[in-house]
Amino acid sequence: MSTTAVDTVHNAPATFYCAEEPAAHNGSLLGFWLYLMSDCFVFASLFACNAVLGTSYAGGPTAAQALDLPGLAVNTALLLVSSVTFGFAMLEMAREQKGAMLGWLAVSGLLAAAFVGLEIHEFLGMIADGAGPGRSAFLSSFFTLVGTHGLHVTVGILWLIVLMVQSAKYGLNEANVRRLRCLSMFWHFLDLIWVGVFSYVYLAGVLR
């Protein structure tokens, strides 16, 4: 009887721990979904500002004069392709192919870095041409919206680098898989936001 009691005591904490793991996992994903929804409100506010101020040129350059649509097409392609390659990385993660997953993540990071680099080049070119954020309300709202998105992409790249190092060192353990899934949601979320920026701020802005 005493042996049975001791076994029961030793097994109890292990059973309790296993029961808590799914709750912790689901809680992390739910928390990250809540963060993404809060970020939606941030971008919605910035889109609303651009809608109100989008034609307030104050005698400065209009959207058609200031924005570079051909260069934007290349930038958009880079970010959208990075989302596809990130999807390939998640498929390799599901197959537990760590090397292939890290390879696709590296490609995604490089494409996103190229996107940020071209965006910075666009900003510097506009400022050099006298179309900086202080020139008009339109340009202030443009730089704020596009710059906030670019900042998010930069954070995503840094996050990606950290998770690649952790995955290479510790493997595809439960914590790393959960973090990679959160980053995947973040990555695709930024792509969706950029589609809105591309469609409304650039294309519709040029036609105003």
Q: pLDDT per position in the chain (208 positions), as tens? A: 444 444 444 444 443 333 344 445 566 778 888 999 999 999 999 999 999 998 899 888 988 888 888 878 899 999 999 999 999 999 999 999 999 999 999 999 999 999 999 999 999 999 999 999 999 999 999 999 999 999 999 999 999 999 999 999 999 999 999 999 999 999 999 999 999 999 998 888 777 7
Structure token pair of residue 42: 């941030």
**What is the spatial distance between Cα 22 and Cα 10, in angstroms, rounded to a whole number?**
21
Kindly report whether the global pTM for this prediction surpasses the value 0.75: yes
pLDDT of residue 27: 67
Q: Is residue 136 a contact partner of residue 62, using CB atoms and an 8 Å limit?
A: no
Torsion of CA 100, 101, 103, 104, to 10 degrees: 120
As a whole number of angstroms, the distance between CA 191 and CA 145 comes to 14
The pLDDT score that the predictor gives to residue 69 is 82
Structure tokens at 173: 């353990």
Domains of the chain: 35-207 (1.20.120.80)
> Buried (b) or exposed (e) across 71-101, using 16+ Cβ within 10 A?
ebeebbebbebbbebbebbbebbeeeeeeeb
Eight-class DSSP state of 80? H
| Half-sphere exposure at residue 161, Cβ-oriented, CA atoms within 13 angstroms | 8
| pLDDT the model gives residue 25 | 58
Q: Would you report the helix, strand and coil content of the chain in percent, each value rounded to 5?
A: 85, 0, 15
Q: Closest Cα partner for 186 from 114, 108, 121, 78?
A: 108
